Amino acid sequence: MTLPTIPSLLDAPAGVAAALAHAIDNKTKPLGSLGRLEALARQVGMIQQSTAPELREPAILVFAGDHGVVAEGVSAYPQDVTWQMVENFLAGGAAINVFAAQNGCALRVVDAGVAHDFGPRPGLADRKIAKGTRNFAHEAAMTADQCRQALAHGMALVDTLPGNVIGFGEMGIGNTTAAAALMHKLAGIPVAQCVGAGTGLTADGIRRKQQVIEAATALHAGVEAPLDVLAAFGGFEIAMMTGAMLRAAERRMVLLIDGFIVTSALLVAARLQPAIVDYCVFAHCSGEQGHRQMLEALGARPLLDLDLRLGEGTGCALALPLLHAAVNFLNRMATFESAQVSEQSA
Amino acid sequence: MTLPTIPSLLDAPAGVAAALAHAIDNKTKPLGSLGRLEALARQVGMIQQSTAPELREPAILVFAGDHGVVAEGVSAYPQDVTWQMVENFLAGGAAINVFAAQNGCALRVVDAGVAHDFGPRPGLADRKIAKGTRNFAHEAAMTADQCRQALAHGMALVDTLPGNVIGFGEMGIGNTTAAAALMHKLAGIPVAQCVGAGTGLTADGIRRKQQVIEAATALHAGVEAPLDVLAAFGGFEIAMMTGAMLRAAERRMVLLIDGFIVTSALLVAARLQPAIVDYCVFAHCSGEQGHRQMLEALGARPLLDLDLRLGEGTGCALALPLLHAAVNFLNRMATFESAQVSEQSA
């Protein structure tokens, strides 16, 4: 399997960047007054190499998977919640259903490795690698072959999308534990700063989670290469997202990055292809402790900061209107000349 | 003229608050995981005294007015930009047109006191008090009678709205100077911390603006009552917004508060009726220096922080999808029971 190569947008021809700056500065508004929306418009313009970029058929993919490490008591909810929430997604009752529908975003649910037999189900893409990963407290979460399979499925899923905007979401009881381990290994941040309450652990629970990760990193001490780290600690949903992210950036899509777990998948992708962050819009800073530092490790500044810590891609769905606003002002606002408005006199 | 009396939502019967908390906590998500959207859902529920609140026909009103103090050289743009931008609003070419249309929000433009003859124009509500205020560097910006007229027009405009959500926007060259003076007088914050670049002043321009305000506050030294301060320093658009805000809260509408100038109008309203802030959703923190402190003076926490400093109600239009998201999750998400999802075990 060959993984995609992602070119930096900074290496793009300078003409488009200058044309975008000119277009943005000539809109009927004080220079720079649309703040971060201007940076967002520039970014989307650079990704599409156009001064009139378009957002077509945005879709959020929710990847679900189970984690063997839940046997260590690292989650406030039982493992069955993973498949029960997949059923909730399919029935339309979860937060991501509500927010995606509100903001005109398609939603796809992917079984990357849930410990449950769904059978053939409309609306559910069956890409199950196995019924949950193994317990990384005792052995690698997945084999190298399973990791490759998950990456390949992620890439192939992106090839089926009709649009040019992809949001990433996830569901998996125990996956903040996997994400915290990835963060520690790939960003070199002490475990204590990577571990948070997840779905609602007590302080005792958080301490236990930290001990589990510290013991596991000692067990897998020699593992350093990004894909080896992914296989040792990751989830199938995380690995599948990493593959999907790499392909989406290769296809010059806009990548909407959600919270703690989704960002951990990007951390793997960015260790392989650092330029991938040029294609990423960071939807929000999660309330999960550790996310802010994880974003800093990627040099990322999130759009929203609403104490969300739900996952599912909810941050992506909520940030989507801001992405539309950036593209819309660029395409639809009048210029000083067209509107006959006087320019700055000072 | 009798100004409205606004009851505190904290004095509302406790039953609705408890019912809202129960409804929110039983949705299929970890407790509290929707963060600030949960607080927003509770707030809208309390305003409407309902566990199934509805947002009907949101409208943004953009109030335009001119300021005599521009004669002191306090703005980077010439005064003509006020009427030129009103024309731009009417033609659909401004940022607020783009963002309101995108997010399904009606837009109304109000001539509160622009120094220009528009004549009868479809889409423009003519509530002109005068062709701009007087120069508050030399005399009160408006008479007490003009101030009352502006407040009354603002209240009457709200009575014509069909919906229950109102966003506030403004346009007026020179109005950050008026707003900074109001902030200094009503929040007791030193002038230097109230003054910013507005539409794009240089450091020299900012110093000049500060000096103009400091001299003017010395000139109007005895003025302390909120409505007297409003008349001395305010704009017609600011006074009209203050009136509209008071009526909107009295009618139990949701008030979307935009940036620096809109918040200064609220500061006046809140000095008259402190409970009005219970009805306010603070859309964003502006890039205009001073706004963050002005929000703090109101005990407000804004939803967005995107370095916007455009005015026009753009922050309101951009925050509207978050308000919808709060109400939608409350009304549409499944409960643990209805979706048969296991609850927290820890």
- In Å, how far is B20's CA from the nearest CA of chain A? 17
Which of the residues A296, A312, A337, A343 is marked catalytic? A312
pLDDT exceeds cutoff 90 at B343? no
CB-nearest partner of A88 from B28, B36, B287: B28
Q: Do A30 and B310 touch (CB under 8 A)?
A: yes
Residues of A within 8 A of B96 (CB-CB) are: none
Q: How far apart are CA A283 and CA A265, in angstroms?
A: 15
Q: Do A95 and B304 touch (CB under 8 A)?
A: no
Residues of A within 8 A of B91 (CB-CB) are: 334, 339
Q: Cα angle vertex B145, ends B141, B147, to 5°?
A: 50
CB-nearest partner of B342 from A35, A84, A198: A84
pLDDT exceeds cutoff 70 at A218? yes
pLDDT recorded at residue B345: 65
pLDDT digits (tens, 9 = 90+) for A108-131: 999 999 999 999 999 999 999 999
- Those residues whose C-beta lies under 8 Å from the C-beta of residue B43, and which sit 6 or more positions away, are B9, B278, B281
pLDDT exceeds cutoff 60 at A346? no
Q: Do B30 and A310 touch (CB under 8 A)?
A: yes
8 A C-beta contact, residue A329 and residue A336: no
Q: Which residues of B are catalytic?
A: 312
Q: Do A342 and B81 touch (CB under 8 A)?
A: yes
Q: What is the mean pLDDT of chain B?
A: 96
In terms of Cα–Cα distance, which of B80, B51, B41 is closest to B64?
Answer: B80
CB-nearest partner of A200 from B34, B339, B344: B344
Over residues A220-224, the mean pLDDT reads: 95
Q: What is the amino acid identity at position B32? A: G
pLDDT exceeds cutoff 90 at B1? no
Band of pLDDT at residue B92, cut at 50, 70 and 90: very high
pLDDT digits (tens, 9 = 90+) for B305-321: 999 999 999 999 999 99
Domains in chain A and their CATH numbers? 9-54+327-339 (1.10.1610.10), 59-321 (3.40.50.10210)
pLDDT recorded at residue B228: 98
Q: Angle, to 10 degrees, between the axis of helix B314-332 and the axis of helix B14-25?
A: 80
pLDDT recorded at residue B10: 86
pLDDT digits (tens, 9 = 90+) for A252-268: 999 999 999 999 999 99
The DSSP line for A54-96 is ---S-EEEEEEE--GGGGG---SS-THHHHHHHHHHHHT-SHH
pLDDT digits (tens, 9 = 90+) for A284-320: 999 999 999 999 999 999 999 999 999 999 999 999 9
Count CB atoms within 10 A of the CB of residue A24: 23
pLDDT exceeds cutoff 80 at B346? no
Band of pLDDT at residue B18, cut at 50, 70 and 90: very high
| A83-A84-A87-A93 Cα dihedral, nearest 10 degrees | -140
8 A C-beta contact, residue A304 and residue A36: no
Backbone phi and psi for residue A61, each to the nearest 5 degrees, phi listed first: -105, 125
Q: Do B88 and A334 touch (CB under 8 A)?
A: yes
pLDDT digits (tens, 9 = 90+) for B317-332: 999 999 999 999 999 9
Q: Do A310 and B34 touch (CB under 8 A)?
A: yes
Report chain B's C-alpha Rg in angstroms. Answer: 20
The DSSP line for A124-148 is EEE---SSS---TTTS-SS-HHHHH
pLDDT exceeds cutoff 70 at B276? yes
Two tokens at B132? 């701009």
Residues of B within 8 A of A345 (CB-CB) are: 76-78
Residues of B within 8 A of A202 (CB-CB) are: 346
For residue B78, the chain A residue with the least C-alpha distance is: A345
pLDDT recorded at residue A14: 82
Residues of B within 8 A of A36 (CB-CB) are: 306-308
Band of pLDDT at residue B270, cut at 50, 70 and 90: very high
Over residues A195-224, the mean pLDDT reads: 95
Band of pLDDT at residue B168, cut at 50, 70 and 90: very high
Q: Do A98 and B310 touch (CB under 8 A)?
A: no
CA atoms within 13 A on the CB side of A314: 29
8 A C-beta contact, residue B244 and residue B238: no
- Residue A296: active-site member: no
For residue B74, the chain A residue with the least C-alpha distance is: A346
Two tokens at A56? 């077509």
- In Å, how far is A177's CA from the nearest CA of chain B? 16
- Those residues whose C-beta lies under 8 Å from the C-beta of residue B132, and which sit 6 or more positions away, are B65, B66, B67, B68, B79, B113, B114, B115, B236
Q: Do A35 and B309 touch (CB under 8 A)?
A: yes
Residues of B within 8 A of A32 (CB-CB) are: 200
Alpha helices in chain A, H assignment, sequence order: 14-25, 35-48, 80-91, 95-102, 144-159, 175-187, 191-194, 203-219, 226-233, 236-250, 260-272, 291-297, 314-332, 336-339
Q: How far apart are CA A264 and CA A291, in angstroms?
A: 9
pLDDT recorded at residue A345: 65
Q: What is the mean pLDDT of chain A?
A: 97
Over residues A222-235, the mean pLDDT reads: 97
